[in-house]
Amino acid sequence: MKNIRNFCIIAHIDHGKSTLADRLLDETATVTKREAQAQLLDSMDLERERGITIKSHAIQMEYKYKGEDYILNLIDTPGHVDFSYEVSRSIAACEGALLVVDAAQSIQAQTISNLYLALENDLEIIPVLNKVDLPSANPEEVTDDIVDLLGCDAEEVIPASAKTGIGIEEILAAVIERIPAPKGNSDEPLQALIFDSVYNPFRGVETYFRVINGSIRKNQQIKFVATGNTYGADEVGTLKLTQAPKQEIKAGDVGYLITGIKDAREVKVGDTITDAKNPTQNAIAGFEDVKPMVFAGIYPVDTEDYEELRNSMEKLQLNDASLVFEPESSAALGFGFRCGFLGMLHLEIIQERLEREFDMTVITTVPNVSYHAFTNKHPDDIILVNNPSDLPDPSSMNRVEEPFIKATIITKSDFVGPVMSLCIEKRGQIASQTYLTTERVELTFDMPLAEIVFDFYDRLKTVSKGYASFDYSPIGMRASKLVKVDVLLNGQPVDALSALLHQDNAYDIGKRMCEKLRELIPRQQFDIPIQAAIGAKIISRETVKALRKDVTAKCYGGDISRKRKLLEKQKKGKKRMRAVGNVEIPQEAFMAVLKLND
């Protein structure tokens, strides 16, 4: 056990985690030249296309150092704020972390929040200064920033370049010397922590675990503590580039387990695996429950695919434990699911994965956040409002509370003005402003979460020319003046387009929603009025004009009354058509509400 090291790589998005992982795998000869490719651990097509890591990936490396053989278990983690739940799970399975900082971009918001996650779990931090070969790199200044942040010595910061391979040997040496070996006892009853799981259509659920105490053998009878179910360990092994079956995995090591479980709900991430005959008395404290930030409805395009969508979601939830969903129905869209996501990128990725991995075409409704409503009758009873249609009648309502977050934005000092005005426009209140260096400022705002759901991140990047990094954490609920804005098409409310908005913004957003829908809804044989309403009061109206045939074409000359007769006849027909007409809403219309400023 003294020769095992478990560590993860944490950094802000785009600071070179996956490239560094590639170089470590090359250096330890874990992959052959033939298998090597860029972003090797990013196995999803989606990750490669977007150049981001979505899932944590575990892999085992073997390395000879000073004549001794060491086993290094590396977990590569995502960098985007929406996937911080993945990072927290990886950190729970490690003793140390490589903190990668880009020498050209210095410390960003996500670097700091991931660092705090690691420090809370008492991990040994090894700072790595990446991309020192870039002409725009500023190694001395960034090293000083890291020293200020961590309180370490400048000598402890390892300068490296994952692209060219500078400093890779020093990183491996530091991992072996500075990160402590795992603590645990092979003779105690089995106690292992599940930190991830994936669904394999041929073999059932594959569970990734880290053994804390005891050991797990092939064909052993094991028990999951949270569900209380017992299974036979059909196969155990370690995670090389492909799975390597073993007879036994001992304390301190990381491996995978196949038990032939077919039902995705039987495996809980954060659960403890133990021996069925001689169970451990104390379960490992699991991970915190995930707190979804953004809610949206996901509906199958064809209502008959509802069950298939449920199965796809369950399998996807296994691979992405931060997805939360429950069934709901909508008058406009039929049966579907109300899903909770960690952010807008997460929602986009889930929608894309459903389409690619499970061939499901889905409609996503306007995302919103979760509110608390209180009525006059029971002012202490919280009514949870995840969907605008759950909001109680305004006449009986006492107050509505909405979730607030603490937003941390790090940007260059030139962009402080535009960033501030953007945050204030989004109802933010400035809490603090700190100059980290003469060039870099950290701004802290208290903001309503609902304002961040709508195009905030894109606009922040625009006003700061891409130089702002953003991170947030929830700070609780606060009372707010909210109204429900309904969208009516042809006089019928479309519940999937309703939104809860702040009173001051309701008129403006309602008007923009109508204008946007007018562009997107195709013209029909009759006029379609598009209206935004608060309660019974219409606040905005646009009309999609009817397609009309030129009925007067055959009248040349003669009395005007002949033309009028034909036009009146056409008008009556259009009126009758409008009374029975149905309006088809294209999928873009639901998402367009998010991009009102474009």
Is 242 within any annotated ligand binding site? Answer: no
Residue 151 counted as an annotated binding residue:
no
Structure tokens, 355: 């389409």
- Separation between Cα atoms, residue 225 and residue 227, nearest integer Å: 6
* Chain-centroid distance, C-alpha 435: 30
In the numeric block, which tokens belong to residue 139? 């190694």
**574 labelled as ligand-binding?**
no
To the question of whether residue 19 is assigned a binding role by annotation, the answer is yes
Q: Is 396 annotated as a binding residue?
A: no
- 271 belongs to an annotated ligand binding site: no
The CA–CA distances, whole Å, from 568 to 183, 528, 552, 564, 576 equal: 88, 19, 11, 6, 12
80: nearest Cα among 113, 102, 58: 113
Question: Distances from the Cα of 553 to the Cαs of 427, 549, 561, 568, 572, in angstroms?
Answer: 56, 9, 14, 15, 19
Structure tokens at 35: 């298998």
Q: Token pair for residue 81?
A: 């704020």
Rounded CA gap, 1 and 10, in Å? 24
Contact criterion met (CB below 8 Å) for 498 and 578: no
Q: Is 250 annotated as a binding residue?
A: no
What gap in Å lies between CA 513 and CA 533, rounded to an integer? 11
Q: How far apart (Å, rounded) are the C-alpha atoms in residues 160 and 172?
A: 12
161 assigned ligand-binding residue: no
Q: Is 17 annotated as a binding residue?
A: yes
The span from the CA of 370 to the CA of 402, in Å, is: 7
Nearest Cα neighbor of 224 from 265, 186, 188, 183 is: 265
Contacts for 560 with CB less than 8 Å, ≥ 6 apart: none
Query: Is 372 annotated as contributing to ligand binding?
Result: no
Residues of the binding site: 14-19, 130-133
Residues of the binding site for GTP: 14-19, 130-133
